[in-house]
Amino acid sequence: MGVTGYSFEIVSSVPADKLFKATVYDMHELAPKVMPEVVKSAAIHGDGGVGTFKEFHFTEVIPYNYVKERIESLDKHNFVCSYSLVEGGQLGTKVKGCNYTVKIEPSATGSVLKVSVEIETVDGVEFTAEELKKEKEGTVGTYKAIEAYLQANA
């Protein structure tokens, strides 16, 4: 078993509260709309708070059919959310566990989105640098697509 992961920041012109709402509370509605080539459908099970499950079903461009995530912690006043992968994706084949933390900080010109991903791999399995790069690019692309949608529909 090993631990790997990645992190990134996106400087955005979108205000922190609006970006947080879109990426945490509305992602299940926005992802299929702004990335129909990737996200086939999405659903939420819960009230959007801690313990809520979000399920995303993918098109054939993703090597797995779906992921199910659970919100583990939520601080709507400081714009921080942590969630974990509980089903689907590479869980059980390459991944033993995966935790995401999203933090959005207000800035003078909008906000700074900070994402960190910690991946615990199955015993004897390692992610190559190329695989991690691809995972990171996909995650960055998702957040940039949501940001672009918000900017276009401000």
Total number of domains in the chain: 1
Per residue in 52-101, pLDDT tens? 999 999 999 999 999 999 999 999 999 999 999 999 999 999 999 999 99
For residue 1, what pLDDT is reported? Answer: 61
What are the tokens at 92? 């059980």
- One-letter amino acid for residue 42 of the chain: A
Helix H or strand E encompassing 146: helix 129-152
- The DSSP call for residue 24 is I
Q: What is the CATH number of the domain that holds 108?
A: 3.30.530.20
Per residue in 131-149, pLDDT tens? 999 999 999 999 999 999 9
Which residue segment(s) compose the domain that 13 sits in? Answer: 3-152
What are the tokens at 109? 């010109």
